[in-house]
């Protein structure tokens, strides 16, 4: 029997991934005190001098013909951004079958990415309307405004791979996808003030991406000699849609990221590491692997064959505990139990399911979908953190 994740349904960065979206729901930054030579847009007029790429200081992963090692360029971008505070803006617009969704995000990070905030609004058909993420060295807190109300989420910073967490503000995941999707060559190299800026351009789709029937492709990346990407754009036209993403570093320099006013509510939410598996083909098992106790009054919602059943926990789910859900073979309502039932006639677990766990305040602790087939060994499906992929209607993934 196999259990295959189909879609992470957790309300997240997922208008977000890796990222992304956070939303203008709190968290402030002070205007950075910026030396004009370090600003993304210098306040003084500076003359640009065109350089020969063969003799210029090019970014890591770039030679005079174009991008030679995209991974090296992305890594250099992440390292360079970690070296200083900065603020950024990001915008994603997608049109598909005459429906348009726009994500507008802005954020800031301190040197070393020791703390950061990202905020976004979503216009269009999407379950999340605004979202915000704030992090310090130990915790990541999130706040969502959805069509059904507000949601909060807490994770320790080590719960997620650091690069994925930080990609929310570095846009490394988006940049990696962008570089893979086009054939980039060096358009210009210019000396602007004390910086060497290389402009990379692609007007042909490489085929390495999630786009089909591409009619028009245009992308530009502006990067300094250290590998720090100052801006990028990508426009893709297909036979049934349009997608445009834009990123810009708006300032570089010392930045203060303040704890948002909603942080207390997010910090009080439950951070439980839950796993969903199937057992002996008859039961759906929710297992608590660690973290906070899931209090009594929390709910487990199971959807299958167009029907939804919500169970309220009468007792706390502690690390090491399980809850078992089975469907009686006589067609009765599904049943939940604290221990694995014996001598029950249960319907075989087969087909598509989704499981959502919420704390007593309605915050989503886990949400996933999975499909079950038979004839193979069983594999468990586990929760996904805030997906920065396209599991939501819109994503800040670019």
144 pLDDT above the threshold of 70:
yes
Q: Which fold has domain 270-362?
A: Immunoglobulin-like (2.60.40)
pLDDT at 164: 79
CA dihedral 200, 206, 208, 209 (to 10 degrees): 70
165 pLDDT above the threshold of 90:
no
pLDDT at 161: 65
pLDDT at 392: 28
Taking a C-beta distance cutoff of 8 angstroms, is the pair 160, 140 a contact? yes
Q: What is the separation of C-alpha 332 from the centre of its chain, rounded to a whole number of angstroms? A: 39
For range 80-95, the mean pLDDT = 95
Calculate the average pLDDT of the chain.
82
pLDDT at 99: 87
SS3 262: coil
Q: Tell me the per-residue pLDDT of 171-181, one tens digit each, with 9 for 90 and over.
A: 999 999 999 99
Q: Tell me the per-residue pLDDT of 7-33, one tens digit each, with 9 for 90 and over.
A: 222 333 333 433 333 333 334 444 333
Q: Per mean pLDDT, which of 2-6, 68-72, 209-213 is the most reliable?
A: 68-72
pLDDT at 375: 52
* 48-252: CATH, from 2.50.20, 3.40.50, 2.30.30, 2.40.128: 2.50.20
Q: Tell me the per-residue pLDDT of 374-388, one tens digit each, with 9 for 90 and over.
A: 554 333 443 333 322
CA geometry: angle at 389 spanning 385 and 391, to 5°? Answer: 85
pLDDT at 19: 33
Smallest Cα–Cα separation from 255: which of 90, 76, 115?
115
- Please list, in sequence order, all residues whose beta carbon lies within 8 angstroms of the beta carbon of residue 21, skipping any fewer than 6 positions away: 13, 14, 15, 103, 105, 118, 120, 122, 128, 131, 394, 395, 396
pLDDT at 331: 84
pLDDT band at residue 240 using 50, 70 and 90 as cut-offs? confident
190 pLDDT above the threshold of 50:
yes
Integer Cα distance of 329 and 333 in angstroms? 10
pLDDT band at residue 343 using 50, 70 and 90 as cut-offs? confident
pLDDT at 72: 98
Decide if 48-252 and 270-362 have a common fold: no
Q: Tell me the per-residue pLDDT of 96-138, one tens digit each, with 9 for 90 and over.
A: 888 899 999 999 999 999 999 999 999 877 777 899 999 999 9
User: The tokens of 159 are what?
Assistant: 């719960």
Q: Tell me the per-residue pLDDT of 346-373, one tens digit each, with 9 for 90 and over.
A: 888 888 999 999 999 888 898 888 888 7
pLDDT at 340: 85
Q: Does residue 203 come out as left (phi exceeding 0), alpha (psi in the -120 to 50 range) or beta? A: alpha
Domain residue spans of the chain: 48-252, 270-362
């Amino acid at each position: 029997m196999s259990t295959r994740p189909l879609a992470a349904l957790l309300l997240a960065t997922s208008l977000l991934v890796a990222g992304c979206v956070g939303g203008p729901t709190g968290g402030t930054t002070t205007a950075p005190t910026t030396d004009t030579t370090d600003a993304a847009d210098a306040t003084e007029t500076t003359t640009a001098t065109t350089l020969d790429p063969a003799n210029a200081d090019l970014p890591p992963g770039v030679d005079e013909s174009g991008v030679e090692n995209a991974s090296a360029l992305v890594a250099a971008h992440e390292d360079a951004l970690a070296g200083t505070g900065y603020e950024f803006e990001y915008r994603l617009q997608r049109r598909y079958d005459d429906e348009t969704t726009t994500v507008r995000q802005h954020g800031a990070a301190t040197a070393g990415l020791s703390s950061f905030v990202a905020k976004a609004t979503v216009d269009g058909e999407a379950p999340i309307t605004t979202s915000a993420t704030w992090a310090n060295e130990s915790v990541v807190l999130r706040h969502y405004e959805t069509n059904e109300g507000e949601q909060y989420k807490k994770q320790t910073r080590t719960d997620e791979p650091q690069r994925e967490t930080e990609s929310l503000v570095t846009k490394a995941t988006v940049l990696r996808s962008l570089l893979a999707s086009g054939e980039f060559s060096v358009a210009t190299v210019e000396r602007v003030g004390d910086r060497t800026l290389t402009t990379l351009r692609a007007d042909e789709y490489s085929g390495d991406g999630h786009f089909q029937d591409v009619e028009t492709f245009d992308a530009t990346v502006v990067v300094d000699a250290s590998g720090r990407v100052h801006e990028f754009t990508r426009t893709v036209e297909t036979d049934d849609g349009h997608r445009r993403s834009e990123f810009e570093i708006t300032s570089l320099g010392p930045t203060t990221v303040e704890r948002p006013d909603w942080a207390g509510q997010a910090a009080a939410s439950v951070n439980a590491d839950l796993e969903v598996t199937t057992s002996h083909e008859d039961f759906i098992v929710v297992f608590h692997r660690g973290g906070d106790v899931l209090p009594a009054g929390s709910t487990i919602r199971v959807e299958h064959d167009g029907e939804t059943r919500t169970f309220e926990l009468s007792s706390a789910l502690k690390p090491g505990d399980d809850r078992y859900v089975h469907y009686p073979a006589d067609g009765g309502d599904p049943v939940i139990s604290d221990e694995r039932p014996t001598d029950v006639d249960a319907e075989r677990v087969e087909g598509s399911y989704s499981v959502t766990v919420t704390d007593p305040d309605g915050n989503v602790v886990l949400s996933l979908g999975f499909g079950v087939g038979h004839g193979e060994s069983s594999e468990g499906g586990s929760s996904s953190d805030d997906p920065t992929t396209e599991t939501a209607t819109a994503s800040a993934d670019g």
